[in-house]
Structures are given as C-alpha cells and as structure tokens.
Chains A and B, each alone.
Chain A
Amino acid sequence: QQQVKQSPQSLIVQKGGISIINCAYENTAFDYFPWYQQFPGKGPALLIAIRPDVSEKKEGRFTISFNKSAKQFSLHIMDSQPGDSATYFCAASTGQAGTALIFGKGTTLSVSS
C-alpha cells in the first residue's frame, strides 16, 4: 500500500515556466510534509516543508500548497531554471520524534533552456 502517491513521474518545463508536482496521502495522522530535491549521485536535500495548520508556504521560487480536506499537497517552482533539473520527492510523517519519512516515488524534472 503506497501511502504517498506522487505525480507526474517526469516533467519537462521550459525555462521561466512553472513546474507543478502533486502528492496525495492517505494517513490522516501525517502532520509534516517536506519536499526534497535530489541531484544525481547526491543525497536528497530538504527544500521546503509545511505543516497542515497553513494552506501555503513560500520560500523564494518554491511554494507548497496544502489541501487538508483533499489530503493533497503540491510543489510549485516559479520561473523554473535549468539548475532546477533534478528529482523531487514529496514525503510525509507524523512529525513525531524518530518517526520515518514516507516518500513518494519521485518526479524527474527537466528544465529546457
């Protein structure tokens, strides 16, 4: 049973465009929703995270939108750049100490110049 479903699997966006990646979760106990960016041969790096008490969080060109009733959240990358080309993972956890992150299967983003 996949607890966090991520789509699309791959995405091609023109430079300057908006990249949108979506995730849906099932476990209503999840209370912490981070996004990670991973470049080939590297470990995932925390990009931005949100808790369900807010519907949106913005950090620079990256925005998380959160819909608690629909159990969905999404990552928007504004003004996408070739340097944003990477694999993006959404994740979820209960946010309690020591608990594991449950990852989506990742979205490979290619930003064409």
Chain B
Amino acid sequence: GEEVAQTPKHLVRGEGQKAKLYCAPIKGHSYVFWYQQVLKNEFKFLISFQNENVFDETGMPKERFSAKCLPNSPCSLEIQATKLEDSAVYFCASSPTGGEHAFFGPGTRLTVL
C-alpha cells in the first residue's frame, strides 16, 4: 500500500495486561521504526528494523517491550504487563532508505487504566 497502516486505532488495557499493536509498512520500504509519543508532543524512539532484522533497539524498555517484523506479516509491538506510564500514542514509520523520508502511520492510542 501507499500508506503506513496501523491497527488498532485505540486500545484500552488494565494495568498488568498485555497490549499488541500492528503496523503494515508501505510496500517496498525496507525500514520500519516505532516511536512513542507522550504528552501529545514528545517523541521517543523505540526500535528500528531493516526487513525482519532488528537494526537499532536502544530505545526499547526490554523488560516488557518486544517487537517483530516477520516476512509477509504486519510488524508488531507487544507490551507485556502494561503500566500506567505506557499510555501514549505509538507510531510506526517506514522508509525506503532508512535514513530519510520516514512516512508515519496514523498511530495507535494506548490507554492503560
């Protein structure tokens, strides 16, 4: 597709529950990025992939967060045992080159109660 697709649009979880977010990058784009946007403005980088390989995971809280990009499947970001502070909008972006022209999806709003 010509747009980055993210599902679901909204996700509500009780504290301690699992959350799983999905991203379909633009066809032909080799790089996928996940960002967390908190308080409406601050973007925090989580992880990047080159095809199905993790490229940079320096932003991932590894105890509870995991992500995958498997061939012929949407990429996913999973949060085990969600905490209140995980409430944010999670954006996926894809890029053909990885260094420039990152196109963002519409985001998934995660609310942890």
Q: Which of A57-113 contact B (CB under 8 A)?
A: 87, 89, 93-103, 105-106
Tell me the bound Cα distance from A36 to B33 in angstroms.
Answer: 16
- Partner of A44 from the list B31, B45, B100, B104 (CB cut-off 8 Å) is B104
User: Which of B63-71, B72-80, B91-99 is the contact stretch?
Assistant: B91-99
Pair A98/B55 contact, Cβ less than 8 Å: yes
CB neighbours (8 Å) of A34 from chain B are 100, 102
Point out the residue from B40, B42, B48 that lies within 8 Å of A98, measured CB to CB: B48
Closest Cβ–Cβ distance, residue B99 to chain A (whole Å) = 4
Which residues of A lie under 8 Å from residue B35 when comparing CB positions? 101
Chain A hits for B99, CB < 8 A: 32, 93-99
Task: List, in ascending order, chain B residues with CB within 8 A of A103's CB.
Answer: 42-43
Q: What is the CB-to-nearest-CB distance from A18 to chain B, in angstroms, rounded to a whole number?
A: 23
Contacts of B56 in A (CB 8 A): 98-100
Determine if B42 and A105 form an interchain contact, defined as CB atoms under 8 angstroms apart: yes
Q: Which residue of A lies closest to B105 (CB)?
A: A43
Chain B residues numbered 4-61 whose CB sits less than 8 Å from any CB in chain A: 4, 31, 33, 35, 40-43, 45, 48, 50, 55-56, 58-59
Shortest Cβ distance from B49 into A: residue = A98
**The one of A41, A97, A100 that contacts B97, using a Cβ cutoff of 8 Å:** A97
- With beta carbons under 8 angstroms apart, the residue of B101, B105, B107 that contacts A46 is B101
User: How far apart sit A92 and B21, CA to CA, in the bound complex (Å)?
Assistant: 26
B41 contacts A105, CB within 8 Å? yes
A43's partner among B97, B100, B101, B106 (CB-CB below 8 A) is: B106
Give the contacting residue for B41; candidates A42, A43, A87; CB below 8 A: A87
Q: Is the pair A101, B102 in contact by a Cβ cutoff of 8 Å?
A: yes
Please state if B41 and A44 are interface contacts (CB–CB under 8 Å): no
Select which of B45, B100, B107 is within 8 A of A49 by beta carbon: B100
Residues on B lying within 8 angstroms of A by beta carbon are 4, 31, 33, 35, 40-43, 45, 48, 50, 55-56, 58-59, 91, 93, 97-107
12 A-B contacts (beta carbon < 8 Å): A44-B104, A46-B102, A89-B41, A89-B43, A95-B100, A97-B55, A97-B99, A98-B98, A99-B48, A100-B58, A101-B102, A102-B45
